[in-house]
């Protein structure tokens, strides 16, 4: 499926892996994908999903904070002397969580729904929003209206002049 990804979408996945590793998480989840989308990279013009998220009030700091708070609420604190889980058991690759895999599958469906052959950041954003879970909760905790965000992301995906 990654051969269908635009440069923006590939950068999002790479950034999501960096975010998961930086937070000490053993899997790439939907929150990490969201954080990857929030990073516009070197050229903000090629990252419309980052612009849309920003316009709706989402910030990487707020999403990261919400993700950490949710994780701390789910899992007890790391015992003294123990290190947080990381993807090291799997080598340098960090696997996707089930929900993140679903979001990636849905991003392909979103691209096809808008008659696109390539998956871009707006399709990943729509996939993440459709799966719900941690990313949606983090956005809501950050004060983002996810329904309005979804409508704007659909407009961007519809207007995209990418390859059909």
Q: Residue 141 maps to which CATH number? A: 1.10.1780.10
Tell me if 109 is assigned to some domain.
yes
- Could you give the CA distance from residue 18 to residue 57 in angstroms, rounded to a whole number? 23
Quote the domain boundaries for residue 86: 2-159
Residue 78's pLDDT is what?
Answer: 53
- Could you give the CA distance from residue 67 to residue 73 in angstroms, rounded to a whole number? 10
Please give the structure tokens belonging to residue 154.
Answer: 């659909």
Of 35-39, 59-63, 78-82, 145-149, the poorest mean pLDDT is in: 78-82
Through-space distance between the first and last CA atoms of the chain, rounded to whole angstroms: 16
Concatenating the DSSP letter of every residue in 97-129 gives PHHHHHHHHHHHHHHHHTT-SSB-HHHHHHHHH
Please give the structure tokens belonging to residue 46.
Answer: 């090629």
Tell me if 32 is assigned to some domain.
yes
For the chain, the domain total comes to: 1
For 107-126, write each residue's pLDDT tens digit. 999 999 999 989 999 999 99
Go through the chain and tell me how many residues it has.
Answer: 164
The band of 87, judged by pLDDT with boundaries at 50, 70 and 90, is: very low
Question: At which residue do the structure tokens 């309005």 appear?
Answer: 148
Tell me if 98 is assigned to some domain.
yes
Angle at 72 between CA 79 and CA 146, to 5 degrees: 160
CA atoms within 13 A on the CB side of 77: 3
The band of 90, judged by pLDDT with boundaries at 50, 70 and 90, is: very low
Phi, psi of 5 (to 5 degrees): -80, 140
Tell me if 103 is assigned to some domain.
yes
Tell me if 17 is assigned to some domain.
yes
Residue 79's pLDDT is what?
Answer: 45
Contact (Cβ atoms closer than 8 angstroms) between residue 45 and residue 34: no
Tell me if 12 is assigned to some domain.
yes
Tell me if 164 is assigned to some domain.
no
């Amino acid at each position: 499926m990654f051969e269908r990804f635009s440069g923006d979408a590939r950068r999002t996945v790479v950034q999501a892996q960096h975010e998961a590793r930086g937070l000490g998480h053993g899997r790439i989840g939907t929150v990490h994908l969201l954080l990857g989308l929030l990073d516009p990279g070197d050229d903000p013009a090629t990252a419309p999903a980052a612009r849309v998220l920003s316009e709706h009030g989402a910030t990487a700091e707020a999403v990261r904070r919400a993700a950490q708070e949710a994780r701390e609420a789910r899992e007890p604190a790391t015992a003294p002397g123990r290190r947080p889980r990381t993807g090291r058991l799997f080598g340098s690759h960090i696997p996707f969580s089930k929900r993140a895999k679903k979001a990636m599958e849905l991003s392909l469906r979103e691209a096809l729904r808008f008659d696109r052959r390539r998956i871009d950041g707006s399709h990943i954003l729509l996939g993440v929003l459709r799966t719900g879970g941690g990313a949606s909760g983090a956005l809501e905790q950050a004060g983002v209206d996810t329904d309005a965000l979804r409508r704007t992301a659909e407009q961007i995906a519809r207007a995209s002049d990418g390859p059909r």
